[in-house]
Amino acid sequence: MTLRRTFPTALGAWLAATAAWAQAEVVSVAPDGRIASLRQARDHVRELRKGANGEREPVTVRFAAGMYRVTEPVAFGPEDGGVVYEAEPGATVVLDGGREIVGLSAAPDGLWTARIPEAAAGGKPFEQLYVNGRRATRARTPNEGFFYIRKPLARAVDPATGEEGPATNRAFVADRRDLEAFAGLSADQLKDANVVVHHSWEVSRHRVASVDAETGNVVLTGPAPWPFLQWGANQRYYVENVRSALDRPGEWFLDRDGTLYYRPLPGEEIGKARVVAPVAEAFITIQGDPDGGSLVEDLTFRGLTFRHSAYSLPPQGQGDPQAAVNIPAVVMVDGARRVALEGCRIEHAGIYGVWFRRGCSDSKVERCALVDLGAGGVRIGETGMPAKPEHATGGITVDDCIIRGYGRWFPGAIGVWIGQSSDNAITHNDIADGYYTAVSVGWSWGYNETACKRNTIEYNRLHHIGRNLLSDMGGVYTLGLSQGTSVSHNVIHDVDSYNKAGAGGWGLYNDEGSTGIVLEGNLVWNTTTGSYHQHYGRENVVRNNILAFSKYGQVMRSRAEDHLSFTLENNIIYWRGGPLLTGNWSDHKNYRLDSNLYYEASGAPVEFPGGLSLEAWREATGQDEHSRVADPKFVDAANHDFRLQPGSPAASVGFKPFDASKAGVRGEGPWRAEADAPLPDSPPAPSPPPLSVSEGFEGDAPGEPGYTPASATLSHGGRPELSAVTEETAASGRRALKLADAAGLANGFDPHFYFSPRYGEGLATCSFAIRVEPGAVFYHEWRDGSSPYRVGPSLWFRDGKLFAGDRAVADVPAGKWLRVRVSTRLGVHRPTWDLAVEIPGVEPVKLTGLPVAPGLKTVDWVGFVSPAERPTAVYLDDLELDVRP
């Protein structure tokens, strides 16, 4: 246990407790004994202490091997302190919060079924299932990858109230083809379905209020933390818990009538499989009264396994701003001192593992395994500043633990999370296989005062996180003022973020306002967007680290501020391909780089921002006065052996070798073997499908200025009212998009909007209805992404005529709707384009084989531009953009 100077009495208290427990009375618990459960054991201890005249003698409660059912959490108060609950030596003791499903039968279609009346709607339906010790997949579609939100809905009708209101974070437009799973569902069945939405660094779970298969509109029962598409186009989601999605081995579905359906994996046998549904949501609550000074003290759980806990999605759904911070834990601790979990296991949980929440001190989680967790591992403190000193939590140790397979229900959860809490020690842990940050420290954005200081994050092994699913993460992630905090001697590797630029994935990540942190002696390799990143902060020290093999830049600095943001010195930075420094390095006086050893492993020249050599960079900026470019001579960097060979030039820049093997759990044998069990590489992030646009403008509120079609970018020249949905006219339905023009705009090409489809092969097609008013000038054009760009199909409407390129092909009557279809076959040697136009009262125009610019191979820009220089308007409707094989 690491001792913190803020809690000087901790060692004496633990030693005194240990001596007392050596003389403690022993209570025996057995599955078939007189005392046969944790709750009965707690009650028996209470009975033993009655009549003790306030004396509280230590007690040891010892569990015989076996399984002990838990259906609801067991509460411990101040009267329950001074007790050790432990397994008999060598015994496997499981406190199981699940129930085994019996009576399974095989249906002709290969499904296993069981009738569970108490799990029907109105009873206690379960949302997780475990088969043979494996978390089974609740029926979902698509099975791999995602659907993609086309656009948010500005307003929607709430089916519960019948009232219309703002809805950008609780309603969106889907591709109509993606809504087939909802076909034929009743309103109650819709609410049982889940829509699971990914938001860069978080995931929200929703119930469905309504689906309109005609418009693609999806309305949810509650809001997401942010408006949809807040973090960019192609926002991902999938649909879960609908019967039609039960199409893959390993999936299951619980019907509203209590019928369980499971599609077995190859090799699973119905008579031999153990199928368990969780019942208990938590196992232990420890509740003292910090305001009244009545704490739970000296309570230890040792050698126990807590298995199978549930989570049930509330009617409004669940979404958090970060770190799944509103999700509780199976062991909840408030108002406690000297609480310990030693040698325990928490596995197959629906929520977090352990949370020392309010008014906790001198406590520890030591040599415990927390695996297959719905949320994260251990939480310390709260998100808000303590209202009074008695509410502060600190002096918590998480040491020599394995936290693996976290975030299985809430991917945004953290391995170990520290909020507004100081003087904690996170040491010698192995944290792996999560979808977001391994260790997060702090909960304050900016430079406001915090209660998060002097935390020690040292000698941990943090690896295989992100898994190409979420973004904006770090092996260690920090926030806010954190003076006295050390993030040192950790080994961090394989941080794979979904986003490959901007909000990506880093090994060491000082986010907003991070201040006063020392990051020293860390070994970081195989990250996505940098071994180290500081968004913004003050006076951090990044010293004597090995930072290697980031894919898209090695060190990143985002925000320039007028103070010393960090000092980066005595580091070895080693990479293969890509830039060394990314982000903002223009304010040379506000950071300090020196005595670093830089090397590009392929032997390519080392370039600093602006393409400068080290010498030119040094002269231009005054940075890196004593830095060098040289091969550090690692033993075998390709296989991640970063020990230095004799004669390494690292010593010449002041680098001091360190033993990275000290990071992670201690000892050998099964414990080490569990921590070292190999993990697969992260699966590649699925590519979004080609852009597909279908805009009828019927679901949009008329008159709202600055209207932008889904997945498009709008430029209105400072006049948002120039783009709006209107009911003045429509080619079909009741509404259309009106692009008005005006005199005096700074840019002649405004207003305009464009799509970035990035089509490279297939038949690309764009069709739309258009109505031009007198005096209107309008063009529709396709371009590639080269500089200067090459032009593909190009249509102009001006002077009452339609031009294909420079050729007038038809007269265009003002105030009449036309229908236009443009297409081109990409991926061929010499693409051409075709045009079809329907004009009222005349023969349709059909042109084929029209030329495009030589060398055009991709379509990266499809624009709709109104360059008139006087008040006029163009109306658009029924806009479709797609590519097909």
Q: Are the CB atoms for 503 and 480 separated by under 8 Å?
A: no
* Nearest to 477, CA basis, from 429, 519, 448: 519
Q: Which helix (H) or strand (E) holds 396?
A: strand 394-399
What is the pLDDT at residue 225?
A: 97
Q: How far apart are CA 351 and CA 418, in angstroms?
A: 17
Q: Which residues of the chain have pLDDT under 50?
A: 1-9, 11, 14, 20-21
pLDDT in tens, 583-624: 999 999 999 999 999 999 999 999 999 999 999 999 999 999
Query: Which two structure tokens, joined as six digits, stand for 757?
Result: 């489809």
Which amino acid makes up residue 196? V
Query: Which single residue is written with the structure tokens 């670093």?
Result: 596
* Alpha-carbon distance values, 512 to 442, 444, 534, 605 (Å): 10, 8, 8, 33
Look at the block and give the residue holding tokens 């990914």: 198
Residue 574: Cβ-neighbour burial (10 angstroms; 0-12, 13-18, 19+)? buried
Q: Measuring CA to CA, how many Å separate 871 from each of 52, 497, 708, 742, 777?
A: 92, 48, 20, 4, 11
Hey, what amino acid is at 602?
A: S
Q: Cα(735)–Cα(181) distance, rounded to whole angstroms?
A: 29
CA distance 9 to 335: 18
User: Can you tell me which residue has the tokens 């994935």?
Assistant: 505
Q: What whole-number distance in Å separates Cα of residue 794 and Cα of residue 809?
A: 12
What amino acid is encoded at 399 in this protein? D
Q: Which of 697, 753, 698 is nearest to 723 (CA)?
A: 753
Give the tens place of pLDDT for each residue, 198-226. Answer: 999 999 999 999 999 988 999 999 999 99
Q: What pLDDT score was predicted for residue 658?
A: 98
Closest CA to 859 of 788, 778, 762, 779: 762
Q: What is the pLDDT of residue 3?
A: 29
Report helix, strand or coil for 49.
helix
Which pair of tokens denotes residue 23?
């003389």
Q: What is the pLDDT of residue 19?
A: 53
DSSP per residue over 172-201, as a string? EEE-GGGGGGGTT--HHHHHHSEEEEEETT
What pLDDT shows up at residue 12? 56
Query: CA 286: distance to chain centroid?
Result: 30
Contacts 24+ apart (CB under 8 A), 793-801: 793/766, 793/822, 793/824, 793/833, 793/835, 793/850, 793/852, 795/820, 795/822, 795/835, 797/770, 797/772, 797/874
Inter-residue contact 337 to 313 (CB < 8 Å): no
Burial of 880 (0-12, 13-18, 19+ CB in 10 A): middle
Which tokens is 418 given?
């520290």
Name the pairing type of β-strands 217-220 and 202-212: antiparallel
Could you tell me which of 373, 374, 382, 322 has the C-alpha nearest to residue 355? Answer: 382
Q: Which residues in 614-651 are b (16+ Cβ under 10 Å) and which e?
A: beebbeebebbeebbbbbbebeebeebebbbeeebbbe
8 Å CB contact between 746 and 864:
no
Look-up: residue for tokens 């970063």?
Answer: 642
In terms of Cβ atoms closer than 10 Å to its own Cβ (0-12, 13-18, 19+), residue 164 is: exposed
pLDDT at 424: 98
pLDDT at 679: 97
What HEC string does 613-662 produce? Answer: CHHHHHHHHCCCCCCEECCCCEEEHHHCEEEECCCCHHHHHCCCCCCHHH
pLDDT digits (tens, 9 = 90+) for 567-590: 999 999 999 998 999 999 999 999
| Phi, psi of 849, rounded to the nearest 5 degrees | 70, 25
Q: Which CA distances in Å does 313 have to 206, 223, 332, 407?
A: 8, 14, 19, 15
Q: From start to end of 40-168, where are the E strands? A: 59-63, 66-69, 74-76, 83-87, 93-96, 98-100, 105-106, 112-115, 130-131, 134-135, 137-138, 140-141, 147-152, 155-157, 164-166
Dihedral angle sign, alpha carbons of residues 521, 527, 531, 533 = negative
Name the pairing type of β-strands 566-569 and 540-543.
parallel
